[in-house]
Amino acid sequence: MAEEPRLRGCSLESDYRSDRSHLVEDFYLPALAASTTYDRAVGYFAASVIATLGQGIDDFTERGGTMRIIASPYLEPADIKDIEEGYELREVLHRAAVRDLEQAVEDQRAARGLGKLGRLVAEGRIDFKLAYVEERGRVGMYHEKIGVFRDGRDIVAFKGSANETRSGLVGNFEAIEVYRSWDPRDTDRAARISKDFEDLWHDRTPTLRVVPFTEAAKAAVERSALATTGRYELDDLPTGGAPIVMSPQPPAGALTIPQSLVVRDYQKEAVQNWFRNQCRGILRMATGTGKTLTALSAAAQLGSFLRKNDDNASLLVIVVAPFQHLVDQWAKDIEWFGVTPLRAYESSSKWSPRAHALLQNLALGGMSGGVIVTTNATFGGDTFQNFLVAYGGQLLVIADEAHNLGARHLRTQLPEKAQYRLGLSATPERWFDDEGTDALTGYFGEIVFEMGIGEAIRCGALCRYTYTPVLVELDDEEAELYAETSAKIARLIASGTDLRETADRDSPLGRLLKKRADIIGHARGKLEVLRTELEKRRETSHQLIYCAEGKHPLLYEQGTEGPRQIDQVMDMVGNELQLAAARYTSETKRPARQDILRRFERNELQIISSMRCLDEGVDVPESRTAYLMASSSNPRQFIQRRGRVLRKAPGKDRADIVDFVVVPPVGGEAIQYETERNLLRREFARVEEFAYLAENEAVTLDVLRPVRERYGLFDT
């Protein structure tokens, strides 16, 4: 058997200088090839150096070589300001060092280096620490540059001007002095440099602080390595129903791809794009295109990827959904992926002990993963936030209907420690809230995949539909109140009111805008029109009626009591028309909700009347007809309601949408001409959005022609 290479056999010189030698080829590569350990303490370390050292690192890795790196992260002005303002110093240093590693992925050479570095990190053969000078409240950079190679018998120590970066080894003019332990002239110096490194490593150097960084580095390198794997082949995501080779005993708590799952090509592309973006990003997918299954497939693939690099890797997945019924819906799908999730909502005494038990299992290696599904309200509470603080492992946050988390009281609760982040929404932009929208993309990342309703219909993910706008006139009282409210809105805006208040429903402007929208939503003429439309479809099954929230604004104005729109609708449907119907609102208890959906699916109920509870995430694919009694100008609401009825189901190839479009009264004098035009513009914007993809687009737009002619609105 050939003898292992030794440092003595490398013919190393006593010094290397850029004008007469090549630092990498003449010194680093031979020394690395002969070593079993490599220690390096430098002012700056970059992943690009790993790519520069190329084959030498590969050989070093194959022999089981280990590395210890001490470096000082580059502090930007914002970092220094944070330190001066009293932020935790170690946290600022960690943030800066992680930023250095993550930014390296933008450099192709650095990206290749991250791949090699990731292997060393995953196998536990590289360790990082951070060094800095702290004196009288000021932070300074550790700028020394020393290194030590060992082969088990001898050492080669060196010091000089070169940083452990590609430019430091290749591009710059550098020089290093080399000390070989077997040379009597160098023995003492080699031993001294070796001891200096050990003192650094164990934080025994006066004026310097050296702190661990490996766990933070590991997470950053693994995330960055995901983006360097090229096209990540998701072999476990079948697109044609092919059988999947599955582990007979999946790791405890790890999501696994269901054997019966068939993933569409676009869903596979969405997961691949997310991986290429370092497992961060937003999927902008139309309602009904399978965001939940796409997200769980991504989570399963991420867990598998991490375990391939580290047998002991674990991943905690947190799914945040707006409402309890969506938590239950997610839980059902998660169980299909082989994990019984912890449902965190209502009283914390019910879920908190189980959550902390899960953390213990993950920390002790008893489980490879776990899934917690929670509501927005519970997620933002102190108990859940304290739980997140206590967890220190790999974390994936999945936000269902992610736009909700852009609200001011929730976006500040999103955990920065989450290495992996996935936002799901058909409409991620927040209505009149640019700040909240920016906060979402700032946290989750950019939109990495988009599929709109039109494309989803064309590829067969959603069904085709017809669209029927039905004109409903305001009565005189409603028209007068609408005009008064619009005038107040105009005066507020003219006075310089911040338009960002449109997103705040409790602000003076927000309250007026809501009142005006409620006048449209509760227009009294809609009830008789609804009766006519229901009579036409008396024999049609699986119908949804979306009602306006609250009560008619005129009731508040007049100080009188009166039924809500949904109460009037239920009385008409159930008592007058004798159709089997149920209401599905926020007041409906969870067991009753589940029963209603089951009865609707089995066609025991012909109609469900709701307000907002069917807007986000509820699966009612059997629905054939949707009546939009109230649909605001907020695109999110009408897009979600359309998507709800377009979901595919056996025997369903088309859906019908009936939209109640409010117009001014013919011959009425209460509303001024421009106010009337503005009302119609808002209503017509929704109509055109719906009509554009409908099978009967031309017929639909003809319905509006007389009104357009009356108000000269052919430009909208």
189-203, 390-404, 423-437: least confident range: 423-437
Give the whole-angstrom CA distance, residue 432 versus residue 494.
18
User: Quick check: 79 pLDDT over 70?
Assistant: no
Give the pLDDT confidence score for residue 18 in this predicted structure. 79
Q: Tell me the CATH number for domain 464-711.
A: 3.40.50.300
Give the pLDDT confidence score for residue 231 in this predicted structure. 40
74 — pLDDT class (breaks 50, 70, 90): low
Q: What is the pLDDT of residues 230-281, one digit of tens each?
A: 444 454 554 443 333 344 467 888 999 887 887 888 998 999 899 888 899 9
> What sign does the CA torsion over 23, 27, 32, 35 have?
negative
User: Quick check: 710 pLDDT over 60?
Assistant: yes
Give the pLDDT confidence score for residue 167 in this predicted structure. 43
94: which residues sit within 8 A by CB, 6+ positions away? 130, 213, 216
Give the whole-angstrom CA distance, residue 55 versus residue 36.
15
Percent over 70 (pLDDT), the chain: 75
User: Taking a C-beta distance cutoff of 8 angstroms, is the pair 426, 450 a contact?
Assistant: no
Domain with CATH 3.40.50.300 in the chain: 231-458, 464-711
Please state the rounded mean pLDDT for residues 197-202: 92
Give the pLDDT confidence score for residue 249 in this predicted structure. 62
210 — pLDDT class (breaks 50, 70, 90): confident
User: Quick check: 106 pLDDT over 50?
Assistant: no
Please state the rounded mean pLDDT for residues 109-132: 62
Please state the rounded mean pLDDT for residues 287-313: 85
Q: Which of 12-21, 105-114, 638-647 has the highest mean pLDDT?
A: 12-21
User: Quick check: 421 pLDDT over 50?
Assistant: yes
433 — pLDDT class (breaks 50, 70, 90): low
User: Taking a C-beta distance cutoff of 8 angstroms, is the pair 80, 132 a contact?
Assistant: no
Give the pLDDT confidence score for residue 120 in this predicted structure. 64
Q: Tell me the CATH number for domain 231-458.
A: 3.40.50.300
Residue 298: name the closest of 311, 321, 282 by CA: 282
Bridge partner residues of 283 (DSSP): 424, 449
User: Taking a C-beta distance cutoff of 8 angstroms, is the pair 518, 553 a contact?
Assistant: yes
What is the number of alpha carbons within 13 Å of residue 474 lying toward its C-beta? 28
Please state the rounded mean pLDDT for residues 28-49: 76
What homologous superfamily is domain 7-224 in, according to CATH?
Endonuclease Chain A (3.30.870.10)
Please state the rounded mean pLDDT for residues 163-170: 47
Q: Which of 94-103, 183-192, 225-234, 699-708 has the highest mean pLDDT?
A: 183-192
Tell me the chain's radius of gyration from C-alpha atoms: 32
Its pTM surpasses 0.75: no
Give the whole-angstrom CA distance, residue 519 versus residue 706.
23
Quickly count: other Cβ atoms within 10 Å of residue 253's Cβ: 23
Which 3 state secondary structure label does DSSP give 390?
Answer: helix
Q: What is the pLDDT of residues 618-655, one digit of tens each?
A: 678 788 999 998 765 555 566 777 877 888 888 888 99
User: Quick check: 407 pLDDT over 80?
Assistant: no
Percent over 90 (pLDDT), the chain: 28
User: Taking a C-beta distance cutoff of 8 angstroms, is the pair 436, 295 a contact?
Assistant: no
Q: 34: buried, middle or exposed (CB in 10 Å: 19+, 13-18, 0-12)?
A: buried
User: Quick check: 118 pLDDT over 80?
Assistant: no
Q: What is the pLDDT of residues 463-519, one digit of tens each?
A: 999 999 999 999 989 988 988 988 888 888 888 776 565 556 678 888 888 888 899
Work out the mean pLDDT of the chain and round it to a whole number: 80
105-114, 323-332, 404-413: least confident range: 105-114
User: Quick check: 119 pLDDT over 90?
Assistant: no
User: Quick check: 222 pLDDT over 80?
Assistant: no
User: Quick check: 603 pLDDT over 80?
Assistant: yes
User: Taking a C-beta distance cutoff of 8 angstroms, is the pair 396, 422 a contact?
Assistant: yes
What is the number of alpha carbons within 13 Å of residue 248 lying toward its C-beta? 0
User: Quick check: 86 pLDDT over 70?
Assistant: no
Q: What is the pLDDT of residues 539-571, one digit of tens each?
A: 999 999 999 888 899 988 888 888 999 999 999
User: Quick check: 164 pLDDT over 80?
Assistant: no
716 — pLDDT class (breaks 50, 70, 90): very low
Q: b/e for 666-697, b at 16 or more Cβ within 10 A?
A: eebebbeeebbbebbeebbebbeebbebbeee
Residue 59 or residue 287, greater confidence: 287
User: Taking a C-beta distance cutoff of 8 angstroms, is the pair 684, 713 a contact?
Assistant: yes
Domain with CATH 3.30.870.10 in the chain: 7-224
User: Taking a C-beta distance cutoff of 8 angstroms, is the pair 605, 580 a contact?
Assistant: yes
Q: What is the pLDDT of residues 123-154, one digit of tens each?
A: 667 787 888 776 655 666 777 888 999 988 89
Token pair 């019910």: residue: 350
Give the whole-angstrom CA distance, residue 139 versus residue 508.
48
Give the pLDDT confidence score for residue 644 in this predicted structure. 77
Q: What is the pLDDT of residues 367-377, one digit of tens each?
A: 889 999 999 89
